[in-house]
Amino acid sequence: MRSKLYPSEYLALLTIKYEVDADTFFNALISAVKNRRANCGNLHIQCRNKNNNRVILLITQGSKVVAQFQLPQEFLLKQNNPIKEAQNAYLTYKQAIKKRKAQQSFQIKDLRVGMKKVNLEAKVLEVSKPTQVITRFGNYASVANAMVSDNTGKIKLCLWNNQINTIAAGDTIQIQNARISAYKNEKQLRIGKKGTLRRTAEQQCLR
């Protein structure tokens, strides 16, 4: 893995950190080389030196030094903005990482009380008969517990109302965006309004 960034990557990170438009920033760098100084938002760019087809640029924000770096002059002559290309590539990469983390599945042995946004695939061992309870809002609701397992352990899954009839013993299910709570010192999976519970595609085909 490279430990050193390309100039376009380094400058792209600056635009993201200081919330500067990549095209405006690129044009400001060009202007600073031509006119010795330029502004880009609240960033001030100064050309400190030109030597052997390279330029040294200093970027400040008020009295704070943001960066000082060298660039080959040919970098600023490119038709397509290399900073914008690097910025788009970086943001695409970050979104992919974020999506991958959101889709990451946990194993039951790793679940801890207080965890949120839990994704899990498990097998339903049993589903209890539903009982009627009064919620804190004064409404009647049906509640049941399902015992689910994977190859690392078992945990109770709390089911409410319409969720109860969506799964049965023997089903393999996928749970997304659940949270882990405790009831009578026992860990439980709970699926809130933003969570989902469904049988896997294979199970749906079998029914």
Put simply, whether the predicted model's pTM sits higher than 0.75 gets the answer no
Question: Where does the pLDDT of residue 55 fall: very low under 50, low under 70, confident under 90, or very high at 90 and above?
Answer: very high
CA distance 112 to 97: 23
CA distance 144 to 156: 10
Taking only the tens place, the pLDDT of each residue in 104-144 is: 678 899 899 999 889 999 999 999 999 988 878 888 889 99
- What phi, psi does 162 have (nearest 5°)? -65, -20
What are the tokens at 128?
């209890």
Arithmetic mean of pLDDT over the chain: 88
Question: pLDDT at position 45, please?
Answer: 97
Lowest mean pLDDT among 93-97, 129-133, 195-199: 93-97
101 class by beta-carbon count within 10 Å (0-12 exposed, 13-18 middle, 19+ buried): exposed
Question: Where does the pLDDT of residue 103 fall: very low under 50, low under 70, confident under 90, or very high at 90 and above?
Answer: low
Three-state DSSP at 136 gives coil
Strand blocks (E) in the chain = 37-40, 43-51, 54-61, 64-72, 118-127, 131-134, 140-150, 153-160, 172-183, 186-190, 196-199
Domain ranges of the chain: 7-102, 104-206
Question: Where does the pLDDT of residue 149 fall: very low under 50, low under 70, confident under 90, or very high at 90 and above?
Answer: very high
Give percent of the chain above pLDDT 70. Answer: 91
Question: pLDDT at position 102, please?
Answer: 58
Q: Which CATH number applies to 104-206?
A: 2.40.50.140
Question: Where does the pLDDT of residue 1 fall: very low under 50, low under 70, confident under 90, or very high at 90 and above?
Answer: very low
What are the tokens at 7?
């100039």
Question: pLDDT at position 2, please?
Answer: 41
